[in-house]
Amino acid sequence: MSGFAGQVALVTGSSRGIGAAIAEALATEGAHVILTGRDVKALEAVEERIFSSGGAATIAPVDLGESDGISRLATALAGRWQQLDMLVHCAAILPQLTPVTDIDQPAFSKALTTNTLATQALIGAFDPLLRRSPDARFVYLTTSVATAPRAYWGAYAASKAAGEVLVDCYAQEVRNISKVRVAIVDPGATRTAMRARAYPGEDPATVKLPEVVASSVVSLLGEQFASPHRLRVNQPS
């Protein structure tokens, strides 16, 4: 437990799935992990697993869709920690898969708020704390449909594509004036609740576990990658 000893990591969407797996893997490597999400009981379960493994974590429940949720989170963290070394943005909403002509506007608005607007808000709120770190890393989890759109995925793809563009622009804006490095990670097909909703007839055993993605992300965070860096996590052979 020395790879990230003394470092602070914030993982959004860490109550379950890929976010929880990344949070636990970072804690195993010695990072103090800040767990965020809307489900307090699920966050407590992740925190307990981290504690049981000898790691350190802090729960900070937040709804990224709330108008002041992210700013309140940033203020709270800045009051306790001098810097933020890693920010891994996993949280996302998958609206109903439907033809573009039938997209439900309220649901689309909610997806844009969480997947796009919250991404910009996180960057804006936590950039100051990231810049205080001598080795800051920001990781954004994307999706293949953001760059290769498919029928019926329009609402989700559009919201994630917009978020991805914001992250890429941010990476270019800060790479020559700060030590903040940015990576955009496509986890690929992974055994999560979101995947199950999108592919209800799929055998979960045919896709990789969230821990596979977590291993790749944690490995990347330990490297001196060029920013912006892109990574796709493939299915293990």
pLDDT 10s digits, 175-229 = 999 999 999 999 999 999 999 999 999 999 999 999 999 999 999 999 999 999 9
Q: What is the mean pLDDT of residues 80-108?
A: 97
- 113, pLDDT greater than 60: yes
Active site residue 199: no
**Catalytic residue selected from 140, 156, 170, 199:** 156
- 2, pLDDT greater than 70: no
Q: What is the pLDDT confidence band of residue 62, given thresholds at 50, 70 and 90?
A: very high
- What's the pLDDT score for residue 67? 82
**Angle at Cα 219 formed by Cα 213 and Cα 221, nearest 5°?**
105
Average pLDDT, the chain: 96
Q: What is the mean pLDDT of residues 129-146?
A: 98
**Residue for token digits 């793809």?**
157
- 1, pLDDT greater than 70: no
- Pick from 34, 31, 27, 25: nearest CA to 7: 31
- Pick from 127, 129, 122, 134: nearest CA to 83: 129
DSSP string, the chain: --TTTT-EEEEETTTSHHHHHHHHHHHHTT-EEEE--S-HHHHHHHHHHHHHTT-EEEE----TTSTTHHHHHHHHHHHH-S---EEEE-----PPP--GGG--HHHHHHHHIIIIIHHHHHHHHHHHHHHTSTT-EEEEE--GGGTS--TT-HHHHHHHHHHHHHHHHHHHHHTTTSS-EEEEEE--SB-SHHHHHH-TTS-GGGSB-HHHHHHHHHHHHTS---SSEEEE-PPP-
Domains of the chain: 8-232 (3.40.50.720)
Q: What is the mean pLDDT of residues 40-53?
A: 97
